[in-house]
Chains A and B, each alone.
Chain A
Amino acid sequence: MACSWNWNPLGEQTFYRRSELYSMAWDLAEELRDCLMAAAPYGGPIALLKNNWRKEKSPGSRPVLEIYSAAGLPLASIVWKSGQVVQLGWTASEDLLCIQEDGSVLIYNLFCEFKRHFSMGNEVLQNHVLEARVFHTEYGTGVAILTGAHRFSLATNIDDLKLRRMHDMPSLQKPPSCWAVLFQDRVTVILLATGQELYLLDNTSCNAMTPPGLSPQAGAYLQMAVSFNYRYVALYTDTGYIWMGTATFKEKLGEFSCDIRAPPREMVWCARPRSKQRAVVVAWDRRLMVAGNTEECIQFVLDEDSYLVPELDGVRIFSRTSHEFLHEIPEASQEIFRIASMAPGALLLEAQKQYEKESQKADEYLREIKDKEQLSEAVQQCIEAAGYEHEPETQKSLLRAASFGKCFLDRFSPESFVRMCQDLRVLNAIRDYQIGIPLTFAQYKQLTIEVLLDRLVLRRLYPLAIKICEYLRLSEIQGVSRILAHWACYKVQQKDKSDEEVAQAINQKLGDTPGISYSEIAGRAYECGRTELAIKLLEYEPRSGEQVPLLLKMKRSKLALSKAIESGDTDLVYTVVLHLKNELNRGNFFMTLQNQPVALSLYRQFCKHQERETLKDLYNQDDNHQELGNFHVHTSYASEKRIEGRVAALQNAVDEYYKAKNEFAAKATEDQIKLLRIQHRLQEDLDKPYLDCSLHDTISHLILDGKHKRAEQLYREFKIPDKRFWWLKISSLAECGDWEEMEKFSKSKKSPIGYLPFVEICVKYHNRHEAKKYAARVVPEQKVKAFILVGDLDQAADAAIEHKSESEMSLVLAKCSPAIDATVVEKLNRARAQILKK
């Protein structure tokens, strides 16, 4: 059949196909062999360093670093001005590593923009790099170096640089004939060969290895190849013998002998997941050989220098003019397109073709599949095979066949079909010559759509990336927004446009797309030195919390402050305020706060706990005398211990209160100063603690101590209201039981509080006898109450009767117990009856 014309059999089961991806667009003047080269896996870009080997560095022939897409379209180039490069390599995120002779590694992005550099250590610096390899493991991208002293150094992950020196080789005299990086049980080791010896090198040891089943006549090793997944190793010896086996050297996969003794230029594995016949591809200058565990091999003649790029499911071969893909035909394709295949998929394809020709044969073929109940298998096969084809025409015919077969099936989930159509649409789009990412279906699935989108973004192919997101209906946050954000980050770097233009362009495109972080874009703008643009962009950021940190970084603290306040998030305001405090001088800082009351009040809060003195300065600045007064009062009883200090603090407070026109507070404070002085004296005179008592308590203590003179003195000096003084004096006297003094006091003049309180206080201290003395003096209205208090119900009754008050009589009656107070009860009842009569 038409599709299998370029199939080459290897053994009985498998075929290999070499198909052209692109004819290269680059128009290279040099031979590839004169350049240092690196091609990234997964259809990645190709880097060339020209003129690298020339010793004389005339200005005209400086090395040039060029980067091309896989289709040979130039992406960028720069003149190489740094040191001698030994090796180029690509990281997993498509950054270019340029490993220099002195062990420093420069990282460029795929537009030749310098990103950063790192060094492989002093030892490498001293001994220089002899050879280097870039490798990829699950830890990331690593670099292995063979130094001039024939020692190995490596770093497993360049983003988390930890240098490891490997154990010494058995012989340091000459470099190994070939070596490779292996990754076994999550450890990176080095496999190397010198002559007929094979060693495995790790941090601590160097073990000689013997491949099982190695032919005794094998000879010295010339070349080795490690498979894409580090599972298999192939060794080429100077007798033209190839050994293939597992990387653990426990199992042999096969061997092959060819008659070519010349050392091959390159050797790589060519296999795919679930491969039936794993093979190695060996390249000489003009010859390419695919060899497996078979008698025969496939040989191709090369017209020009070609280079091999191992991939997950095959090998890419590129030269000055073309870019090809060599791979093992996957099973599904083989079933369908093998000559005279009777597989269900093949029959279905044929049936569909006949159907298009309106031939009844279509029915016959279909019937044949249906009879064997293989229709759903046939559809599945066609769908799968479509994925392996590069030619859209072939893809379409296979999908048409699948769709045709689907019609005759009742329950066939359309999902796999739809999926495949979508995936192929995406794949065809990115394989386009202009885009130049020749991913196969298997690689695409391995890479995932997210990574693919990232790579498109890296190449600044924003519209295509967005189209793909929309086509696949990816969620906005994962898809379109992310890409737009990247676009915007790129946009801000365009220095030729004005800030206004850029900001507007970005806002127009991005709008309020969910998941867009304007602050991130602004951050990028700031990194590019466009502070004004960054501020403009931040205006679009809806979350103040995101604006503030960047504004602070850009030293726009005042703007940050107002943004923080707008957000209503106090914590954010604090962040800015304390930042400002360190950044500005004190005067400026206070001035800034002056205009931001929220910030000011927060800062005051902070000062109250951390820096009380600053608080004073703050109040001073606003002429806030009231608060200053409060401040001094607080100081006087919280921090000052000595009496002089306290008085001084209060004196300050008085001044401030006067300035604040708060006469009440000033007077009160003056009184307090007076009191403090008196208390101080009392304390010295009487040797008792008086300080810090209130005026009331002070007098009360004095009375308790019998210092009535002094108490009187205070009473007059502080103009204490008579009522209070009387209350105070009688309760204090009662407390110390000085009934005599109380009586004297009661007679000193007419009581301003009446005499009921005297009764109450005596009763409270259980002195009925004294109470009775005062009960008689109580004003008539309160007499009943007073007599009840002292328990003289008889007199109470008399008083009540005298007042002719019924409620008072009831009150007394309620207190009477009939047994004891019979006479009183009788008296009251009689009086009541009399009142009622009237």
Chain B
Amino acid sequence: MASPGRRDAPEPPDFAVLKRLARDQLVYLLEQLPGRKDLFIDADLMSPLDRIANVSLLKQHEVDKLYKVENKPVVSTSDQLCFLVRPRIRNVKYVADVVHADKAAGRSRKYKIIFSPQKFYVCEMVLEEEGIYGDVTCDEWSFYLLPLDDDLISMELPEFFRDYFLEGDHRWINTVARALQLLSSLYGPFAKTYGIGRCAKMAYELWRELEEEVEGDSQARRPEIGHIFFVDRDMDYVTALCSQVVYEGLVDDTFRIKCGSVDFGPDITSGDRSIKLLLNAQDKVFAEIRNEHFTNVFGFLSQKARNLQAQYDRRRGMDIKQMKNFVSQELKGLKQEHRLLSLHIGACESIMKKKTKQDFQELIKTEHSLLEGFDIRESASFIEEHIDRQVSPIESLRLMCLLSITENGLIPKDYRSLKTQYLQSYGPEHLLTFHNLKRIGLLTEQSPGETFTAVESKVSRLVTDRAAGKLTDAFNSLARKSNFRGISKKLGLIPRVDGEYNLKMPRDMAYVFSGAYVPLSCKIIEQVLERRSWLGLEEVVRLLNGNEFAVTDPAVEDNPTWESQRVILVVFLGGCTFSEISALRFLGKEKVAETVPDCPLARGEAKDPALPPSD
């Protein structure tokens, strides 16, 4: 992508420090419980933990056996049990069950719960209600941020979206604020802060409060990150609802990228075992194709394969000395590259098999016409057929939501019939799914004027005091129109292209959606950074329902010559997709800013946040 003449993206700061901090604290916590112990790990924490500490490190600190927290009786024989969990009621109850079972069996052991990233009062409350408060000791592992890549850190909180946007539960905002505090203590202070969305604003304010309480002496330090940008996921659902077509996004859609690594099954590895592959900039092959449109990937890979072969071939005609040199220095690298190449080719084949089917092409076509607002009737019947034929429950929902958002709600007839069809295809429990989707405004019915104002008046009644204001903030999406069409027009999200969009040499961020659509979230970021304020975007902000802010920290010298001033941290509250990451990386090379998106939520969930209400 980078062509000559462009400035390269600046180096992001060294995020590995976050890992080291987390590891050291974990070791410290484990040592607080001296002696041999068994460690029970929350399934959600398994992958992040894997990135922080390996088994041998745990063993070094006297962890005997590792178990997953699951609904099975505990078989451990150790006298000390340590639980590493997210602060959820479910997990605490699990511990309570273990303790009760031990008590019934007349066994006494030591129990310790380590909550990550923080302990909630309600957890202690449950311990108390279960009558085991005295039997268990609690600790906090302040592991807020996991660096997934050189330019990507994540909070790994998949429940953030559901808790905040659906349930209106603000508990994680505090966590976000603390994570930001950690970042600014390590890399800050930040010269300028932008943001849009209610959650963004609250997180920002809470973070400022935390900073004020500490009142550090960080002023003298030279900041490593210039700007920080907050985006609420509900500012832009559209992007999250579109099918991904860049390589990394497709790998995620097909195989699920978890914590920056992916499991390739035997069909791809062409061996008998599945392989866990870390997907980051260290993987030379992947680094070159991750952000590419899928159509380019195969060509690239075959070119790469030829190059590799050529390099192998060089050894013909070498003398002994050269050969020795080749074997000792290059061969290992080549072999490694060879292995990666074959894995990615395998993955590509598998994706092709699934995605180039007629269905997929039609799906993309429908998405594009929805984005552009053409052939709505045709799209609606495509969706209905999609549901009737039970192609994929998730994709059907995705299309329905996309239709609803782009059209400001479904027309009543479609709303009823699509829902009925869906229930008939996938079962009645999805009645609750639809209810949830309606609550967050993803799947709504086009409402005649009067109901809209009714909601509004209800809202304004609630806004009378400050406290209630915050709640209605969270639920306001109920009343909010998505206004996608208007925003799209204002920002030019649908590029007008004459002829074929050149996916090999893309002109703008639209390439991540085959040139059909510029991701809204990224467009806003681009616009604001270009203007260095929200000025001139008033109309867009109004359509997005406001809550924008831009704050300059007067204590930080805004010195544009500093390389670090070009580093921008984008915080997605509620998760982001790989397409957005690719688009931002593109933006980083095109303009003069590298972006470091932070996704508190593993990407995929954003697409379907409210699937079966599995509470």
Residues of A684-731 whose CB lies within 8 A of B: 692-696, 718, 720-721, 723-724, 727-728, 731
Is A140 part of the contact surface with B, judged by Cβ < 8 Å? no
Structural contact, A601 and B389, CB atoms closer than 8 A: no
Given that A571-B120, A578-B121, A578-B122 are contacting pairs, would A669 and B428 also be in contact in the complex, using a CB cutoff of 8 Å? yes
Q: What are 17 of the A-B contact pairs (CB < 8 Å)?
A: A566-B466, A568-B174, A570-B174, A597-B462, A597-B468, A598-B168, A598-B470, A598-B471, A601-B169, A606-B89, A608-B615, A609-B93, A633-B429, A669-B428, A675-B428, A695-B424, A731-B389
**Inter-chain contact total with CB atoms closer than 8 Å:** 128
Is A486 part of the contact surface with B, judged by Cβ < 8 Å? no
Structural contact, A597 and B435, CB atoms closer than 8 A: no
A562 cross-chain contacts in B, Cβ below 8 A: 467
Q: What 9 A-B pairs come out closest when comparing CB atoms?
A: A570-B171, A609-B89, A672-B428, A694-B427, A597-B471, A724-B388, A565-B467, A695-B424, A575-B121
A609 cross-chain contacts in B, Cβ below 8 A: 88-90, 93, 615
Structural contact, A568 and B213, CB atoms closer than 8 A: no
What is the bound-complex CA distance between A666 and B267, given in angstroms?
46
A634 cross-chain contacts in B, Cβ below 8 A: 432, 613, 615
What is the bound-complex CA distance between A233 and B168, given in angstroms?
73
Residues of B122-169 whose CB lies within 8 A of A: 122, 125-126, 129, 163, 167-169
What is the bound-complex CA distance between A665 and B430, given in angstroms?
11
How many residues does chain A have at the interface if contact means C-beta atoms less than 8 Å apart? 49
Is A569 part of the contact surface with B, judged by Cβ < 8 Å? yes
What is the bound-complex CA distance between A574 and B471, given in angstroms?
15
A633 cross-chain contacts in B, Cβ below 8 A: 428-429, 431-432
Is B426 part of the contact surface with A, judged by Cβ < 8 Å? yes
| Nearest CB of chain B from residue A695's CB, rounded to whole Å | 4
Is B173 part of the contact surface with A, judged by Cβ < 8 Å? yes
Structural contact, B170 and A598, CB atoms closer than 8 A: yes
What is the bound-complex CA distance between A727 and B169, given in angstroms?
43
Is A610 part of the contact surface with B, judged by Cβ < 8 Å? yes
Residues of B460-486 whose CB lies within 8 A of A: 462, 466-468, 470-472
Structural contact, A596 and B170, CB atoms closer than 8 A: no
Structural contact, A570 and B468, CB atoms closer than 8 A: no
Q: Which of B167, B435, B467 touches A596 (beta carbons < 8 Å)?
A: B467
Given that A568-B173, A696-B390 are contacting pairs, would A574 and B121 also be in contact in the complex, using a CB cutoff of 8 Å? yes
B213 cross-chain contacts in A, Cβ below 8 A: 543
Residues of B87-117 whose CB lies within 8 A of A: 88-90, 93
| Nearest CB of chain A from residue B27's CB, rounded to whole Å | 26
| Nearest CB of chain B from residue A608's CB, rounded to whole Å | 5
B126 cross-chain contacts in A, Cβ below 8 A: 610
| Nearest CB of chain B from residue A694's CB, rounded to whole Å | 4
Is A5 part of the contact surface with B, judged by Cβ < 8 Å? no
Structural contact, A568 and B205, CB atoms closer than 8 A: yes
Structural contact, A602 and B169, CB atoms closer than 8 A: yes
How many residues does chain B have at the interface if contact means C-beta atoms less than 8 Å apart? 50
A724 cross-chain contacts in B, Cβ below 8 A: 388, 421, 424
Structural contact, B431 and A665, CB atoms closer than 8 A: yes
What is the bound-complex CA distance between A728 and B385, given in angstroms?
11
A578 cross-chain contacts in B, Cβ below 8 A: 121-122, 125
A575 cross-chain contacts in B, Cβ below 8 A: 121
Structural contact, B428 and A569, CB atoms closer than 8 A: no
Per DSSP, chain A at the interface is helix
Is B420 part of the contact surface with A, judged by Cβ < 8 Å? yes
B258 cross-chain contacts in A, Cβ below 8 A: none
* 10 additional contacts (CB under 8 A) given A568-B173, A571-B174, A626-B435: A570-B170, A596-B467, A601-B168, A630-B432, A633-B428, A668-B423, A668-B431, A694-B428, A728-B388, A731-B389
A675 cross-chain contacts in B, Cβ below 8 A: 428
What is the bound-complex CA distance between A721 and B213, given in angstroms?
63
Q: Which of A574, A630, A668, A727 touches B125 (beta carbons < 8 Å)?
A: A574
What is the bound-complex CA distance between A660 and B387, given in angstroms?
28
What is the bound-complex CA distance between A695 and B431, given in angstroms?
14
Is B443 part of the contact surface with A, judged by Cβ < 8 Å? no
Structural contact, B424 and A568, CB atoms closer than 8 A: no
B471 cross-chain contacts in A, Cβ below 8 A: 597-598, 601
Residue of A nearest to B387 (CB): A724
Most B C-beta atoms less than 10 A away, residue of A626, A672, A693? A672
Is B315 part of the contact surface with A, judged by Cβ < 8 Å? no
Residue of A nearest to B389 (CB): A727
What is the bound-complex CA distance between A792 and B526, given in angstroms?
53
A626 cross-chain contacts in B, Cβ below 8 A: 435
Residue of A nearest to B613 (CB): A634
What is the bound-complex CA distance between A626 and B472, given in angstroms?
19
What is the bound-complex CA distance between A630 and B385, given in angstroms?
28
Residue of B nearest to A610 (CB): B89
Is B202 part of the contact surface with A, judged by Cβ < 8 Å? yes
What is the bound-complex CA distance between A692 and B88, given in angstroms?
29
Q: Which of A569, A574, A693 touches B122 (beta carbons < 8 Å)?
A: A574
Residues of B484-532 whose CB lies within 8 A of A: none
What is the bound-complex CA distance between A724 and B428, given in angstroms?
17
Residue of B nearest to A657 (CB): B431
What is the bound-complex CA distance between A694 and B423, given in angstroms?
7
Is B425 part of the contact surface with A, judged by Cβ < 8 Å? yes
Structural contact, B174 and A569, CB atoms closer than 8 A: yes
What is the bound-complex CA distance between A694 and B425, given in angstroms?
6
Residue of A nearest to B428 (CB): A672
Residue of A nearest to B174 (CB): A569
Given that A609-B89, A694-B423 are contacting pairs, would A570 and B428 also be in contact in the complex, using a CB cutoff of 8 Å? no
